[in-house]
Every structure is written in C-alpha cells, then in structure tokens.
Amino acid sequence: MSRGKLVVYTGYSGVGKGTIMKRLRELDDSVKLSVSCTTRQPREGETNGVEYYFVSKDVFEDLIKQDGFLEYASYCDNYYGTPEKAVDEMLANGYNVFLEIEVQGGMQVMKKRPDCVSIFIAPPSFEELERRLRERGTEDEETIQKRLSAAEEERKYQQYYTHTVLNDEVDRAANEILSIIHNK
C-alpha cells in the first residue's frame, strides 16, 4: 500500500473549512482528519476525541515536553497541536491525512515535512468572512474581533501555501481539493 499524503489545510476562522472537510470525507474514503489537542473550552455539541482532545494547559505542556506534537501553536489565548504518532499511523495505512491548522502550525509542518501538500482556503471577501463568523453564533463579540484580527495576520502567510482554494461553493471547493490531492 502506498503511503498517503499529508495535507496542511488552513483557512481563517469562519471561512467554512469544517463544512468543506465534511464534504471531502463524504466524497472520498481516503480522506482522514487528524484530531488535534486544544486547551480551549468545547463548544456546544463538541465531543472530546471527535472534534478535538480537550486537555488542560498542564497536560498540553507535558505533551510538548515529551515531543508528542508534529506541530503546535498558540492561537487566540489557547494552545492547539497535532499529535504526531496518530498522523504517521494513518499515512502508513495509505490515508490522505488533513491537518486543519492555523498558519504558524502550517509553516512548521511545511518545514518538517517538505513533501506535504499545502492548501489555503480563501473567503470570497473579508466582509463575507465577518458575516459567516457572526452567523455561526458560537462566539461572543470579543472572540469574533480577535478572530478577525487573527485573520488579517494569517493573510500574510497565504503566499507560502502551494494552493489557494476559494470557498465560493462547498461542492466546487471540495472537488478542487480532491483534484489537487489526487494530482488530477
């Protein structure tokens, strides 16, 4: 069995990464999403071990010391990190493994694993991004503002990604991503 591809999959908070990801998994059994660790609080409806492993700051810092992360970053006052072992197991089993991570982590992975595929999901516009973030209704105003300024910062890193995919329409974006990972 050939080794799967490692995909750095980045986009601003609210851009619709999660929705595209869901579609990708419905369309293609080879697509697996790596489950990250985070110190942020679960949102309503999130389950430990599904969207994230929700851990304390102490546990996260222990994992850093044990070199358990392929990458990790601090984003809007919380830690987020990719457990390395699980990713390598899935790659060895032939799965295409998506890391849904922000730019600092994305840059670390591109450096450590130069054979990865990097994809940046872009919103049709920043106004549209703000609208989507508010529509989701899962964050308070302060958090929305933090995430919008994080997006301004993240925009500077888009140039380091090999591919930019516009999220104008979920199915179209998902199919474009599948063409990229299958080199079609």
81 binds ligand 5GP (CB under 6 A): yes
Binding of residue 167 to ligand 5GP (CB under 6 A)? no
How many helices (DSSP H) and strands (DSSP E) are in the chain? 7, 9
110 binds ligand 5GP (CB under 6 A): no
Please identify, among the stretches 20-28, 94-102, 119-127, 168-176, the one whose residues bind ligand 5GP according to the rule CB under 6 A: 94-102
Q: Which of 13, 49, 1, 55 is nearest to 150 (CA)?
A: 13
117 touches ligand 5GP by CB under 6 A: no
CA 184 to chain centre: 23
101 is a site residue for ligand 5GP (CB under 6 A) = yes
Smaller CB distance to ligand 5GP: residue 80 or 95?
A: 80
- Find tokens 């990229």 and name the residue: 180
CA 41 vs. chain centroid, Å, equals 17
Supply the DSSP symbol for 157.
G
Q: Stretches 19-27, 68-76, 112-120, 123-131: which one binds ligand 5GP (CB under 6 A)?
A: 68-76
- Closer by beta carbon to ligand 5GP, 36 or else 96: 36
Sign of CA dihedral 38, 23, 176, 129: negative
Using DSSP, state whether 20 is helix, strand or coil. Answer: helix
When asked if residue 13 is in the footprint of ligand 5GP (CB under 6 A), the reply is yes
Under the rule (CB under 6 A), what is the footprint of ligand 5GP? 13, 36, 40, 71-73, 75, 80-82, 100-102, 104-105
